[in-house]
Amino acid sequence: MTRLDQQFAFLAEAEKLKSVTRATPIHDASRPENSGEHSWSLALYALVLADHAPEGVDVNRAIRMLLLHDLVEIDVGDVPIHSQNGAAHGAPEIAAAEARAAERIFGLLPQEQGAALLDLWHEFEANESADAIFAKSLDRVQPVLLNHLSGGGSWVEYDVQFGQLESRVGQKIARGLPGVWDWVKAKVEPWFAARDRV
Amino acid sequence: MTRLDQQFAFLAEAEKLKSVTRATPIHDASRPENSGEHSWSLALYALVLADHAPEGVDVNRAIRMLLLHDLVEIDVGDVPIHSQNGAAHGAPEIAAAEARAAERIFGLLPQEQGAALLDLWHEFEANESADAIFAKSLDRVQPVLLNHLSGGGSWVEYDVQFGQLESRVGQKIARGLPGVWDWVKAKVEPWFAARDRV
């Protein structure tokens, strides 16, 4: 196999992410979002919201992480953050399956390139470096705004309370993008208040 | 309007790109690709094929161009490269409509940020800088591989001949990624040969 054979094998495999559906609907609620287009949104978020990133964040590295971060879902599927009352996302058996998927998928690439991208994926998952914390915050904020745009989305499906949104999502957004969570909170809290009045 | 109000207005508008469909089907031919997920694929192509870029190309800038390049389709739609026997794509009235769309969409952002991204979009469209030529090549190569993966795709719909693919697409790929076009050509030419034998 040549280098291009390996790179195109990886890129052909990556196309399958467009068939992995998420709990969040797209903007007009016409269908579920898929993880490929979700990854595009996140990279665009990183580009546009770069000036809110804490000092020291390398936005180009964060964009690369976001382009790659969901590829493991080709094997494992998307685990919605509010499913099983918030317990499924981040469960150890899911994390282990995702790590195996990452080995397989990045293993399609030339050895040193695959190893570098696998490292980047692990860095994102560990959520400890400044770049990863920024990228993870974006991965939490975009679905909130998409649920809001589409009239409730997965908040309706999983009967999410505002306190749950704040603990499962808000605190993580605030960690990487504190000013942004304040803005988002003010935007979405009235939706929950209106629903809970009914 | 605060800076975040403007940035989130832009990001909410950008979500609509997920509803713009293209002539190329996704990998398993189950549905048309949309321009949002297509933009993700191209950014991933840039990341993975970076080592084939001519010297001097800034891959991070190319990724930014690719994340943005299709946003104008929110107003104008996708104009398939093989439609109207290759004449529609790049027609002056389409280019003018796209330029108006770019003004409107990037105009949602804070002034200096919108102006910078509008410049980047014009640079991509002009296809003269090293970064733009690399990015445009990727925009030409991914649909070829997707048509091949999905069993013909828009080549069937528009009855494309191999010579037309070579002139409309191959020469543009070769300009930014010469070694890559040789690989792709060897991969897809047998599909045309097999079809034309029937």
Quick one: A3-197 is in which CATH superfamily? Hypothetical protein af1432 (1.10.3210.10)
**CA nearest to B145, candidates A15, A92, A60:** A15
What's the burial of B65, exposed, middle or buried (CB within 10 Å: 0-12/13-18/19+)? buried
Helix axes B59-68, B35-48, angle to 10 degrees: 170
d(CA A193, CA B4): 23
What ipTM goes with this model? 0.96
**CA nearest to B16, candidates B89, B108, B82, B92:** B108
Cβ–Cβ below 8 Å for A11 and B145: yes
**CA nearest to A110, candidates A7, A8, A27:** A7
DSSP tag of B54: P
Residue A89 — very low, low, confident or very high, per pLDDT cuts 50/70/90?
A: confident
DSSP tag of B28: T
Cβ–Cβ below 8 Å for B16 and A37: no
If you measure CA to CA, which chain B residue comes closest to A5? B183
pLDDT at A83: 86
Residue A84 — very low, low, confident or very high, per pLDDT cuts 50/70/90?
A: confident
Distance from CA of A84 to the nearest CA of B (A): 28
**Who's near B152: CB < 8 A, 6+ residues apart?**
B191, B195
If you measure CA to CA, which chain B residue comes closest to A144? B12
**CA nearest to A43, candidates A27, A61, A67:** A67
Distance from CA of B93 to the nearest CA of A (A): 28
> CA torsion sign, A25 to A29 to A31 to A35?
negative
A4-63 pLDDT per residue, tens = 999 999 999 999 999 999 999 999 999 999 999 999 999 999 999 999 999 999 999 999
A148-195 pLDDT per residue, tens = 999 999 999 999 999 999 999 999 999 999 899 999 999 999 999 999
- Structural domain spans, chain B: 3-197
B157-198 pLDDT per residue, tens = 999 999 999 999 999 999 999 899 999 999 999 999 999 887
Q: Say whether B25 sits in a helix, a strand or coil.
A: strand
CB interface of B with A, residues 76-135, below 8 Å: 109, 113
Q: Copy the structure tokens of residue A24.
A: 């969040």
Cβ–Cβ below 8 Å for B37 and A36: yes
Residues of A in Cβ contact (< 8 Å) with B67: 40, 43-44, 47, 63
B63-81 pLDDT per residue, tens = 999 999 999 999 999 999 8
pLDDT at A198: 73
Q: Does the pTM exceed 0.95?
A: yes
